[in-house]
């Protein structure tokens, strides 16, 4: 009878431990998904600003049509990259696509803002100044959200890889999550587009 009670307490202890590990993994996964949602919010704001920026610049940059079209095309690709990442936050392929498309958009915006520098009337346009200020602010918020996301992913990955939680993670298919990293070969992506008015 005593051995049965000891065995029962041991089984209950193992079950409680396993449930705690499982719930901890769920909480960590939800934390990085929530952190990605913050990136999503900031990128959506960025995407909303771009058409207004292009429309404001369009009147001044009529002969720079190629630059304007490149920004719109890059915005479309970036939105598709965000949609793929939104469907599967943490998926390595989705996060790589998101980083790549955001880099293309950063490059196109940088070219647009560089071209705008050559037009004093455009630089002095109040609407253009406000939009570029909002864009710069949004870029900063994206950077902070990306850092929070990467911190949450690291905490989740650490939790799923340490023993003995890795036993639960492997049995319940808690796969690794990918960081949102900017590839080293695309150093220009590491900085927000420079806006000088």
What domains are defined for the chain?
41-153+180-190 (1.20.120)
- C-beta of residue 22 within 8 angstroms of C-beta of residue 160: no
pLDDT of residue 187: 44
Q: What is the pTM of this model?
A: 0.77
Q: What is the mean pLDDT of residues 43-62?
A: 86
- Can you give the pLDDT at residue 34? 93
CB 119 within 8 A of CB 61: yes
pLDDT in tens, 9-36: 999 999 999 999 999 999 999 999 999 9
pLDDT for 191 equals 52
State the pLDDT at residue 147: 92
Residue 141 neighbours by CB under 8 Å, 6+ apart: 42, 45
- Within 13 Å of residue 57, how many CA atoms lie on the same side as its CB? 31
The mean pLDDT of the chain is 86
Question: What pLDDT digit, counting tens, does each position of 84-136 carry?
Answer: 998 988 899 999 999 999 989 988 988 888 888 888 888 788 888 888 889 88
Of 173, 174, 191, 171, the closest CA to residue 182 belongs to: 191
């Amino acid at each position: 009878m005593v051995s049965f009670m000891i065995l029962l307490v041991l089984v209950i202890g193992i079950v409680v431990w396993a449930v705690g590990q499982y719930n901890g993994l769920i909480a960590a996964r939800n934390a990085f998904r929530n952190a990605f949602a913050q990136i999503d919010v900031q990128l959506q704001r960025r995407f909303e600003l771009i058409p207004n920026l292009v429309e404001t610049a369009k009147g001044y940059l009529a002969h720079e049509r190629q630059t304007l079209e490149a920004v719109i095309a890059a915005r479309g690709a970036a939105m598709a990259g965000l949609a793929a990442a939104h469907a599967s936050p943490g998926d390595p392929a989705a996060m790589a696509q998101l980083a790549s498309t955001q880099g293309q958009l950063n490059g196109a915006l940088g070219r647009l803002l560089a071209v705008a520098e050559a037009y004093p009337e455009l630089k002095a346009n109040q609407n253009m100044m406000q939009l570029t200020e909002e864009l710069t602010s949004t870029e900063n918020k994206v950077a902070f959200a990306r850092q929070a996301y990467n911190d949450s992913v690291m905490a989740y990955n650490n939790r799923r890889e340490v023993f003995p939680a890795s036993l639960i993670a492997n049995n319940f298919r808690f796969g690794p999550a990918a960081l949102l990293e900017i590839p080293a070969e695309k150093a220009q992506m590491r900085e927000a587009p420079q806006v000088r008015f």
